[in-house]
Amino acid sequence: MSANPNGPEFDQYAKQYAELLNDPIRARFASGSAFFFERKWELLVNYMAEIGLDPKKAAWLDVGCGAGELLRLGAPHFAKAFGCDLSTEMMKACEGLNVTPHTDRGELPFSDGSFDLITVVCVYHHLEPPDRPLLTAEIARVLRPRGVACIIEHNPFNPLTQLIVRRTPVDENAKLLMAGTARALLAGADLGANLRTTYFLYLPEKLYRKAGYLESWLANVPAGGQYAVFGRKQ
Ligand SMILES: C[S@@+](CC[C@H](N)C(=O)[O-])C[C@H]1O[C@@H](n2cnc3c(N)ncnc32)[C@H](O)[C@@H]1O
């Protein structure tokens, strides 16, 4: 599938997005995409509880929200929840959610200091490396002081992740980033307070349901299928 030179890359994938993610390894790992979002949501809930951030009093922005799966899961728990994305076609699946399109890849359509939590899930590997600090600076701008930024990404150290990414059409132009690169991006944008990295997606869904606690033992081992990097604004 070639990139559309006239619009956001993901507009061309939106209609068949779920099918384009189909992969036999992914299908053996989990019964559907819901499990992957459930795991991300759990990480966010645990982190917020740990730092004493009450979502009922907080405003959340999910940058590059795509079809809004994470946003749909988390929004009912927040005082306010918003998503934004370059692809209006992807956001057609976001009915009932508070989502805003934006046209400039380096500029977020929100005022300074609007959010307590900003998540960016599987977006940075679709950005050209020089564009990454620009988006991170924007995230810093729209976060409140002591607000939390969370980057969730595929872990390039995990061989199954590498294999799935290599054969997934929507990842044709993907450039995976290591957790250290995500941490450096946050630190470089003044979001480097209390940096924390958690590796997850070690256990397939069936095993996770029985022995999920094992994943917390492995959270610092850089081998999980994905990782989350959390940082706070100074
Ligand atoms: C792989 S999808 C991930 C969507 C969603 N976060 C998820 O986890 O399902 C990547 C999304 O990032 C969006 N995107 C890419 N660059 C962006 C940017 N600079 N600002 C906002 N969204 C962007 C794409 O349009 C696409 O919807």
pLDDT in tens, the chain (234 residues): 333 455 799 999 999 999 999 999 999 999 999 999 999 999 999 999 999 999 999 999 999 999 999 999 999 999 999 999 999 999 999 999 999 998 877 789 999 999 999 999 999 999 999 999 999 999 999 999 999 999 999 999 999 999 999 999 999 999 999 999 999 999 999 999 999 999 999 999 999 999 999 999 999 999 999 999 999 998
Sheet containing strand 193-200, strands side by side: 99-101, 80-85, 59-63, 115-121, 143-154, 226-232, 193-200
pLDDT of amino acid 172: 94
| 183, containing H or E segment | helix 179-188
To test the pocket of ligand 1, the residue of 13, 62, 89, 123 to mutate (highest count of ligand atoms within 8 Å of its CB) is: 123
Strand pairing report for 193-200 and 99-101? unpaired
Question: What are residue 197's DSSP bridge partners?
Answer: 229
Ligand 1 atom 27 nearest Cα: 66
pLDDT of amino acid 1: 31
pLDDT of amino acid 106: 76
pLDDT of amino acid 4: 43
Distance from the alpha carbon of residue 180 to the mean position of ligand 1, in angstroms: 21
Ligand 1 nearest atom to the CA of residue 87, by list position: 25
Ligand 1 atom 9 nearest Cα: 66
Ligand 1 nearest atom to the CA of residue 135, by list position: 19
d(C-alpha 31, C-alpha 232), whole Å: 34
Give the pTM.
0.96
Helices 179-188, 132-142: crossing angle, 10 deg rounding: 50
Ligand 1 nearest atom to the CA of residue 120, by list position: 6
**CA 78 to mean position of chain CA atoms:** 17
